[in-house]
Amino acid sequence: MNRTYLHWIVYAGIIVLLLAGGAFAQDSLNVTKVGEIAYWTYAHDVDAQGIYAYVADGSAGIRVVDFSDPTDPIEVGHCNTMDFAVRVTVSGDYAYVGAFDEGLFILDISDPCNPVSISQCDFPGMGSTYGIAVSEEYAYVAAYSGGLNIIYIADPYNPHPVGTCFELDWAWNVAIPDNSQEYAYVADGPAGLSIVDISIPRNPVEVACYDLPGPARDVRILGNHAYVTDDISLHIINIQNPQNLWEVSYCVTPGAAYSVVIEDMYAYIADHEGIAIVNIADPLNPYLTGSCNTPGDAEGIAIAGIYACVADQIEGLRIMNISDPNNPFEEGFYNKQGNLNAVAVSGNYAYIADEYMECHGLTVVDISDFNSPAEVGFCDLPDNEIKEIVVNDNHAFVANSYCGLRVIDINDPLNPYEVGYYDTPGRAYGVEVSGDYAYVADGDFGLRIVDIGDPFNPIEIGYYSYVEPIYQVAVLGDYVYAIGNPTGLLVLDVSNPGNPMLLGSLSIPGGPSDIAILADYAYIATSYDGLLVIDVSDPANPEVTAYYDLPGYHSYGVAASGNLAYVADGDAGIHVIDVSDPYLPIEVGFYESPGEARDVALWQDYIFTVSDYYFNIYNFPSNIINEIKIDLIPLTMPMTIPPTGGSFDFLFSIENNTASPHTFETWITATLPNGTTHGPVLGPFGITIPSIASIERIRVQDVPASAPSGTYIYTGNIGVFPDVIRDSDSFTFEKLETGDGVPVANWSNSGEPFDLWFAESDGAVPSEFDIVNVYPNPFNPTTNIVFTLPVAGYVTLDVFDIRGRMVGSAQDRPLREGWMAAGQHQITFDGSGLASGIYLYRLEISGSGATPTTEIGKMVLMK
């Protein structure tokens, strides 16, 4: 192979657009969501207003359920702009949502079928938002270890914190008496019931506390009494004098008392086992009047007339008839659970793997209307881990973990059923079908080759065992491409399916997850390094040509079609990579889908993904691909040069319309009248250009008297000098045979400088691993670490404070980690959130072709 990717490195970046009202991260580029099925996760809390129940559904956001027919409630609205909805309180046209560690969200629910998030508010006590009470112009937020926070909500579009009481222990929930803003009553975990003086909202102060046998979970106020749950009982506390609290009585509940609401003379309690109803007409003698178990784990409860709406975690929303408090019973429920892991598409149907633990199997979705996908069929499977689905003709082949390969008849998509199976010896992680054979990645038991000519009786006819597990496979012709972690890539000759032979292999340290094959190239999604492009034209010697670093923590799936690779990039959604040049992949589209994107399937310009609890359909018009473009525009007319030599002006422009910053080289050459190439007359320069950005420079080109007369072609290129050209543009000029002018001695190029964008490069590969520079140093708040690599290597950059704590990145991960090409690189460290002081960087290189090396240096942040 003559060409090499070793000069090339692409940095995935975050696109920031300045919009009216502030700066927001762009959540898509060239990819549009057209349809969705949003499955439920865990119903944590519920509030009710009229005929609507508002359910806090964890990572799926807020659900709105119409229970006007309590026997058949239906979901009518959904809003998922927050990370994790755990609590919801409804007041008028607004729902106030506790979004765990994202603070408070306010939703406009004036149209219950179309709830819209209108604002979000952080606050000083940003713990985990567990409880919300709303009273007049304030929302009171119990934030666990973050205490009690008071938020001004008179303008729901612009909420802001006004005060915090940090003296509390574990603030689980909060209650405010009607028509009073003197005290807040906090269910304070191990500290019991805490009372906070809120008469001065900017300075809330704890004034009393009453200990309980268990951790206080919830609290409601009625008259002079607080009703507090503590995992054991309902406790009734006299609060007439906050300085002299005393317990009036208590009532043990059947389960662990969690949430409580008061209606008339009854306390309704979600106690994990179901609901418990306690008669509190006489606070001195409360007693249990009735209870009703739910199938899940009852956590939240709301009352609407004769119905109790119960948030039952994994069992969704339960509607309980409480018209007779002595005999409550379930009248209906809504529970559309799902846990999606794999997807395949054929014709008008998508086939998705649903790993929901109580009802797992193959779900068939009608996608004839992309805007309104609908479930139409289901086939139960024996193992709740469904790793992959492949559709071939009228059958779906499923890698069903410990239950091996399952064969599903889908002739009638509305009634799929299993017709055969082969119980592989290991754990079926992946499957691919070619002709009459299914190739199964069977974990520790390698590759299994199964004859599926008779789908009722699949039979193993061959296998290949390897010293390490095999997790995924792809097939093209007589070759199987298998990957494992940490195995890397194996290329097997299966021309004789009964005796597969190993031809070649390639170590992939980034943790390969999935593979797609298209012509001479393999595209591998990795756990930590995004997308790898591998040349497999010589099956015995596969070779990495490029990689593309993606923003997600874990890339799970990949599919390829035409010149595009589509990557399911975990928490970063779906990414579309242009691989028309396998040495220079460029991102041309993405969509930050909810959940973790785990698998991807394609049909024409449509992308189908599964992301935990979501089945999404996206459109990516492949004919609108925007890439990196170069333009050379002559500014001097006519474009003629006298015999004595002369010059012309031109505009040099490069535009990056992709989703990420990119690093490449650019240069200009002149093709002489005899067809030979002179130059470069400009460059080559190394350039890094941000995403969605362009640069323009006016330059002057001198042409010497010695240049022969005739027509010249003036060409600008971007790529990797000299062989790899990503894009080019050109114009012509004429060198005259006659005429006068001031003599010009040499070819030269001058004009507006490139200092902001460019760093000169002679195109040579560095001879050693070296820290070239750290600049500026001291710095505030950013500095650049510049280093060279003699060969492609796996680079890890960590930054530590002087106590040895890792800084500058989330989740205790390195600032940068992944494959980098040979050449000079620059990584920027941002110390905006750090204190002034000394910081240490540690840069390590490893990999099959690199000598393991570590460099440590010092940086000084001065603010």
Domains assigned to the chain: 44-104 (no CATH), 105-332 (2.130.10.10), 628-760 (2.60.40.3880), 770-861 (2.60.40.2550)
The pLDDT, as a whole number, for residue 660 is 66
Rounded CA gap, 849 and 764, in Å?
A: 18
Amino acid at position 654, single letter: I
Confidence tier at 681 by pLDDT (50, 70, 90): very high
DSSP string, 233-277: EEEEEE-SSTTS-EEEEEEE-SS---EEEEETTEEEEE-EEEEEE
Backbone angles phi, psi at 754, to 5 degrees: -105, 15
For the stretch 705-727, pLDDT in tens is 999 999 999 999 988 788 767 78
Q: What is the DSSP letter of 622?
A: G
Confidence of residue 696 (pLDDT cuts 50, 70, 90): confident
DSSP tally for the chain: helices H, then strands E: 0, 76
Q: Which of 116, 99, 100, 96 is nearest to 108 (CA)?
A: 116
pLDDT digits (tens, 9 = 90+) for 525-579: 998 778 999 999 999 999 998 888 898 889 999 999 988 999 999 989 999 998 9
Distance separating alpha carbons of residues 536 and 557, to the nearest angstrom: 19
Smallest Cα–Cα separation from 685: which of 715, 649, 719, 726? 719
Out of 203-212, 331-340, 716-725, least confident range:
716-725
Percent of the chain surpassing pLDDT 70 = 92
DSSP state of 620: -
Determine the Cα–Cα distance for residues 374 and 501; give it in Å rounded to an integer: 44
Distance CA 412, CA 377 (A): 9
pLDDT band at 783 (very low <50, low <70, confident <90, very high): confident
Query: Mean of the pLDDT values across residues 751-760?
Result: 56
Q: Supply the pLDDT for residue 8.
A: 29
pLDDT over 80 at 735, yes or no: yes
pLDDT at 812: 56
Cα 572 to Cα 59, 86, 172, 568, 595: the distances in Å are 15, 22, 31, 8, 9
Of the listed ranges 296-300, 304-308, 402-406, 625-629, the least confidently predicted one is: 625-629
Instruction: Give 447-450 contacts, CB < 8 A, sequence gap 24+.
Output: 447/473, 447/480, 447/482, 447/492, 447/500, 448/405, 448/422, 448/424, 449/494, 449/497, 449/498, 449/500, 450/405, 450/422, 450/424
Mean pLDDT of 76-85: 86
Residue 7: pLDDT band with limits 50, 70, 90: very low
pLDDT at 755: 55
Average pLDDT over residues 402-431: 97
Q: Which residue has the tokens 């072709």?
A: 849
CA 537, 540, 546, 548 dihedral sign is positive
657 Cβ neighbours under 8 A, 6+ residues apart: 626, 627, 628, 629, 692
Q: Residue 338's pLDDT is what?
A: 81
Mean pLDDT of 390-395: 95
Read off the pLDDT band of 756 (50, 70, 90): very low
- Could you tell me where the beta strands, DSSP code E, fall in 494-573? 501-506, 512-518, 521-526, 531-535, 543-548, 557-561, 564-568
Q: Is 168 in a helix, a strand, or coil?
A: coil
Q: How confident is the model over 203-230, as a mean pLDDT?
A: 96
Predicted local confidence at residue 709, as pLDDT: 96
Supply the DSSP string of 267-313, one letter for each residue.
EEEE-EEEEEEEE-SSTTS-EEEEEEEEEEEE-EEEEETTEEEEE-B
More confident residue, 768 or 537: 537
| Cα–Cα dist 480/448, whole Å | 11
CA distance 611 to 569: 10
Share of the chain above pLDDT 90, in %: 65
- Asked if the model's pLDDT at residue 11 lies above 60, the reply is no
Give yes or no for residue 757 having a pLDDT over 50: no
Band of pLDDT at residue 179, cut at 50, 70 and 90: confident
Both tokens of residue 268?
A: 């309704």
For residue 623, the SS3 value is helix
pLDDT at 359: 65
* CA distance linking residue 440 with residue 420, whole number of Å: 15
> Does position 295 have pLDDT exceeding 80, yes or no?
yes
Mean pLDDT over residues 811-827, rounded?
69
The residue type of 182 is E
Name the amino acid, one letter, at 584: L
Residue at 771: amino acid letter: I
Residue 553 in tokens? 């923590």
Q: Cα 532 vs. chain centroid, distance in angstroms?
A: 19
CA distance 856 to 841: 6
Neighbours of 493 (CB within 10 A): 17
CA-wise closest residue to 278 among 289, 264, 270: 289
Give yes or no for residue 140 having a pLDDT over 90. yes
- Hey, how many other C-beta atoms are within 10 angstroms of the C-beta on 803? 7
Report how far residue 57's alpha carbon sits from residue 44's, in angstroms, rounded to the nearest whole number: 6
**Is there a cis peptide before residue 539, judged by omega within 30 degrees of 0?**
no
Mean pLDDT of the region 499-505: 96
Residue positions counted in the chain = 863
The whole-number pLDDT of residue 1 equals 33
- In tens, the pLDDT along 299-332 reads 999 999 999 999 999 999 999 999 999 999 999 9
Angle formed at CA 779 by CA 774 and CA 783, multiple of 5 degrees = 45
Q: What is the mean pLDDT of the chain?
A: 88
CB-based contact 768:790 (threshold 8 Å): yes
The neighbour count for residue 696, using CB atoms within 10 Å, is: 12
- Record the pTM: 0.70
How far apart, in Å, are the Cα atoms of 680 and each of 310, 739, 798?
A: 73, 27, 39
- What local confidence, expressed as pLDDT, does residue 791 receive? 73
Most confident of 80-94, 430-444, 619-633: 430-444
Residue 603 exposed, middle or buried by CB count within 10 Å (0-12, 13-18, 19+): middle
Decide: helix, strand or coil at residue 182. coil
In 3D, which of 206, 238, 245 has the Cα closest to residue 223?
A: 238
Q: Give the angle 475-480-484 at the CA atoms, nearest 5°.
A: 110
Report yes or no: 787 and 772 within 8 Å, Cβ to Cβ. Answer: yes
How large is the average pLDDT for residues 329-355? 93
List all residues 6 or more positions away from 432 whose beta carbon is below 8 Å from its beta carbon. Answer: 390, 438, 439, 473, 474, 475, 480
Q: Which residues contact 165 (CB under 8 A, 6 or more apart)?
A: 147, 148, 196, 204, 205, 206
Please state the φ and ψ torsions of residue 835, each to the nearest 5 degrees.
-85, 160
- Residue 208, beta-bridge partner list: 195
CA distance 786 to 256: 58
Q: How many CB atoms lie within 10 A of CB 191?
A: 20
For residue 334, pLDDT over 70 is answered with yes
Give, in order, the Cα–Cα distances in Å from 510 to each of 146, 489, 850: 38, 12, 15
Whether 89 and 134 have beta carbons less than 8 Å apart is answered as: yes
CB 273 within 8 A of CB 294: yes
The token duo for 93 is: 């046209």
How much is the pLDDT for 606?
96
Q: Give Cα 705 distance to the centre of its chain.
A: 59
Reduce the DSSP state of residue 716 to 3 states and report it. strand
In this prediction, residue 28 has a pLDDT band, given cuts at 50, 70 and 90, of confident
Q: pLDDT band at 821, cuts 50/70/90?
A: low
Question: In angstroms, what CA-CA distances link 561 with 624, 644, 730?
Answer: 15, 54, 31
Q: Strand, helix or coil at 624?
A: helix
Q: Is residue 43 very low, low, confident or very high in pLDDT (cuts 50, 70, 90)?
A: very high
Distance CA 568, CA 451 (A): 30
Integer distance in angstroms from the first to the last C-alpha of the chain? 50
